[in-house]
Structure 1
Amino acid sequence: MTGAGTQGSPPAEDLEDLYENAPCGYLSLQPDGRIVKVNRTLSAWIGIPVDQLLGKRLHDLLNMPGRIFYETHFAPLLRMQGFFNEVALDLVTSDGRKLPVLANAMERRAEDGALLFTRVTMFQAAERRRYERELVDARAAADAASAMVKSQLELEQETAELREQFIAILGHDLRNPLASIAAAARMLRKEEQTDRATKILDLMQGSVIRMSGLIDNVLDFARGQLGGGITLKRQVEDLEPILRQVIDELRSSHPDRAIEVSIEFDGPINCDSGRIGQLVSNLLGNALTHGTPDEPVRFSAATDEQRLELWIANGGAPISSDAMTGLFQPFFKGEAGTSQRGLGLGLHIASEIARAHGGTIMVSSDDEETRFTFVMPLD
């Protein structure tokens, strides 16, 4: 007779079954970003067989906003710190439905530091998203009910406060950490670094410059939408140093591109040099993004007794007449099917800066070149 204490050991856990049928999705990515392993759970969630998922990129499983987030946040964050936690993404199922998930990822590296693969875990988040939306809706309903009993003066005061808070958050909570990252990168560059560390510092520098431009554009767009408009601090000053600085920053983030520069000023100019530098940064960045890589981008700035004129030209396919009509509209993304980075605010902000200076931006585009010309009267 078997005793009470010898009725048998509990069954051993099947690790393969635990992976394949876990209550969460698992996938592993090769160093080139392609899926090398995925479990049945994730395959069932999105309705795509495992063998059809192998070789795809995670980017291919996301909706358009998710792809943008992947390129601007997911991939750079992994390269810089090797992991991330609780990133909200939306997968696209085989029948076109959106599947909200929360993703965690961690790189696995060899002893010599070489990347072996990246492990990604996904949890369904539909209920969590629904709960969050309900909270937002409830807050909005409460705010609307409260607004009905306020006087017009109180509403205007509240709007002004919200505007200032929003601008303060963008200006302080985003700029200060970015400045710290830039300062840390500069300090590290003064020390001896490995080739890999140097490449990471180059990536950080390019990201800081790009993020600074995005913050400037979003901040200015927010001011314009909330009633503040583009603000200027005009004074008579030498404009050339700020233009040289902007050009050098873009050269550092596009080391493989040639920029030809010609600047001929008669003397100091009455303008907001920082804003003019922002205008040039947006136009020059646009030319570097869309111009033919093997042709130089040309920049010219000059003054006479009556006006300042600067232009930026690049080679490449001409802008279509349809695209030309919306070129300076906010969130304009250009030709359908083209791959563009950014929020579509750069040209809009540039045109607003030009208008605030009493000037204009004109565009010409043909098979030989695309040229943006800014003209501003001199007081």
Structure 2
Amino acid sequence: MATPPPPEDLEDLYEHAPCGYMSLQPDGRIVKCNATLCAWVGYSHDELHGKRLHDLLSVAGRIFFETHFAPLLRMQGYFDEVALDFIARDSTKIPVLANAMERRDDQGALLFTRITIFKATDRRRYERELLEARTNAQTAQRELQALNATLETRIRRAVEERLQIEESLARERQLAELREQFIAILGHDLRNPLASLDGGIRMLHGENLSPQGERVVKLLQGSTLRMSGLIDNILDFARTQLGGGIALKIEDDVEVQPVLEQVVDELRTATPDATIETEFTIPAPMRCDRIRIGQLASNLLGNALAHGHRTSPVRVRANAADGEFVLSVTNAGEPIPPSTMERLFQPFVRGTSGRNQDGLGLGLYIASEIARGHGGTLEAESTAEETRLTFCMPLTGNPVEPD
């Protein structure tokens, strides 16, 4: 009679099973594990006792476990074949598959959680290789489809762009012709009558007029001066908006101080009730556009006279030192509101506190364009005491080409 086999040693079966066993307390700490798992991770029973499961996981595994599988375990009481990466004592990564099931008492209280762990190195490698092969095939197919679509799109776009370029060139030629005609007609039709009016006023100025006649002539002189400035601003604005930009005629060795003095004299004549104080320190000629610098100064001074208090003088200062030319115009008056300050150098922006509200709001915009054309800046400061507009230009810089 054959001798029956000895009974299975359950303790040995647990300790040396071909898989890892782990039991967790309700607080998630390891309370028991088998020798197989200890051998895989390189820790003894005592070292693993009291650790948490996520202490053995990689960083990504911890996040994935806590955000996905731990909630699933709490909700349904188990999970199957969860892919995790254990980190051994020597920092080796061990791919595993884990199954877990909760053990509860009759009242539903959690007693412990049992986890079975299987090594999955070969399986995970096979899955990665299979996924990579499938991904590569799909990628190749998508790349081929994308290449075909790209070629078709490029051909279509090339044809469309060619047609658009030809249409754009035709429109640009028409626009250039219309722009030149518009500016020429505008300048001719406005300047000629104004020139005749100015000539007639100059003839009357030499006549023996009554005091009232002298006052009328001075008023007419101021009006023609203002109209001339408006025409200049309108033409310059038309050029900037139609693509011509502010035209500059840069010259070397320009004596700027006489230009500024002439501007001040003209505006003194046009506004005899205003006080204009000047302080010019320009020791040497400069490289700039003589006419445009005079126009910039006239616009800044005209703005100060229009919005400043007549009881306080308008101060015009200019100096050239340390490689920079600085022109500032300062007046007392109501401060510029912040909402206006943000748009001060944009076209058609006018102040609300000046006496003369019939301007187009182009003066400061044109001045800023002239400043930019000279490679400089135009800035504004306004407080309850005074408002100052300051033009700064490098003495050795090159002018900026108009857009």
> How far does residue 162 in structure 1 lie from its aligned partner after superposition?
0.8
In the aligned structure 2, how far is the partner of 1:152 from the partner of 1:327? 34
Q: Cα deviations across residues 59-107 of structure 1 (Å, max 9, x unaligned)?
A: xxxxxxxxxxxxxxxxxxxxxxxxxxxxxxxxxxxxxxxxxxxxxxxxx
In the aligned structure 2, how far is the partner of 1:342 from the partner of 1:348? 13
In the aligned structure 1, how far is the partner of 2:319 from the partner of 2:294? 14
1:292-371 matches, within 5 Å, as: 292-335=309-352, 340-371=357-388
> Residues 368 and 251 (structure 1 numbering): CA distance in 2 closer, same or farther, change over 3 Å?
same
Segments ≥4 residues shifted beyond 4 Å: 336-339
1:185-334 matches, within 5 Å, as: 185-236=201-252, 237-334=254-351
2:380 partner letter: V
Q: Secondary structure at the match of 2:181?
A: helix
> How far does residue 227 in structure 1 lie from its aligned partner after superposition?
0.1
> How far does residue 178 in structure 1 lie from its aligned partner after superposition?
1.1
> How far does residue 166 in structure 1 lie from its aligned partner after superposition?
1.1
> How far does residue 337 in structure 1 lie from its aligned partner after superposition?
10
Q: Secondary structure at the match of 1:153?
A: helix
Task: Identify the residue that residue 74 of structure 2 maps to in structure 1.
Answer: none
Q: Secondary structure at the match of 2:329?
A: strand
In the aligned structure 1, how far is the partner of 2:290 from the partner of 2:354? 36
Task: Identify the residue that residue 171 of structure 2 maps to in structure 1.
Answer: 155
2:208 partner letter: E
In the aligned structure 2, how far is the partner of 1:295 from the partner of 1:194? 30
Q: Cα deviations across residues 296-324 of structure 1 (Å, max 9, x unaligned)?
A: 00000000141100100011121122211
> Residues 307 and 334 (structure 1 numbering): CA distance in 2 closer, same or farther, change over 3 Å?
same
> How far does residue 180 in structure 1 lie from its aligned partner after superposition?
1.7
Q: Cα deviations across residues 199-238 of structure 1 (Å, max 9, x unaligned)?
A: 3212221111000000010000000000000111011211
2:336 partner letter: I
Conserved in 1, the CA contact under 8 Å of 2:239 and 2:245?
yes
2:222 partner letter: G
Residues 254-263 or 328-337, more deviating: 328-337
1:318 partner letter: P
Q: Secondary structure at the match of 1:352?
A: helix
Conserved in 2, the CA contact under 8 Å of 1:323 and 1:335?
no
Count of residues in correspondence between the two structures: 231
In the aligned structure 2, how far is the partner of 1:190 from the partner of 1:151? 58
Which of 169, 185, 200 aligns to 2:185? It is 169
In the aligned structure 1, how far is the partner of 2:289 from the partner of 2:342? 28
In the aligned structure 2, how far is the partner of 1:375 from the partner of 1:333? 23
Q: Secondary structure at the match of 1:263?
A: strand
> Residues 334 and 246 (structure 1 numbering): CA distance in 2 closer, same or farther, change over 3 Å?
same
Conserved in 2, the CA contact under 8 Å of 1:171 and 1:219?
yes
In the aligned structure 2, how far is the partner of 1:311 from the partner of 1:250? 16
In the aligned structure 1, how far is the partner of 2:247 from the partner of 2:354? 35
Conserved in 2, the CA contact under 8 Å of 1:182 and 1:208?
yes
Structure number with greater Rg is: 2
Task: Identify the residue that residue 80 of structure 1 maps to in structure 2.
Answer: none
Q: TM-score, normalised by structure 1?
A: 0.58
Which of 377, 383, 395 aligns to 1:378? It is 395
> Residues 335 and 298 (structure 1 numbering): CA distance in 2 closer, same or farther, change over 3 Å?
same
In the aligned structure 2, how far is the partner of 1:223 from the partner of 1:187? 34
In the aligned structure 2, how far is the partner of 1:157 from the partner of 1:306? 42
Q: TM-score, normalised by structure 2?
A: 0.55
- What runs of 5+ residues in structure 1 fail to find an aligned partner? 1-147
> Residues 338 and 187 (structure 1 numbering): CA distance in 2 closer, same or farther, change over 3 Å?
closer
1:165 partner letter: Q
Q: Cα deviations across residues 234-256 of structure 1 (Å, max 9, x unaligned)?
A: 11211111111111111111100
In the aligned structure 2, how far is the partner of 1:226 from the partner of 1:364? 31
In the aligned structure 2, how far is the partner of 1:196 from the partner of 1:209? 20
1:82-101 matches, within 5 Å, as: none
In the aligned structure 1, how far is the partner of 2:219 from the partner of 2:354? 27
Q: Cα deviations across residues 307-360 of structure 1 (Å, max 9, x unaligned)?
A: 100100011121122211011110012349986230011111111100000000
In the aligned structure 2, how far is the partner of 1:189 from the partner of 1:202? 9
Measured on the aligned residues, the alpha-carbon RMSD in Å equals: 1.9
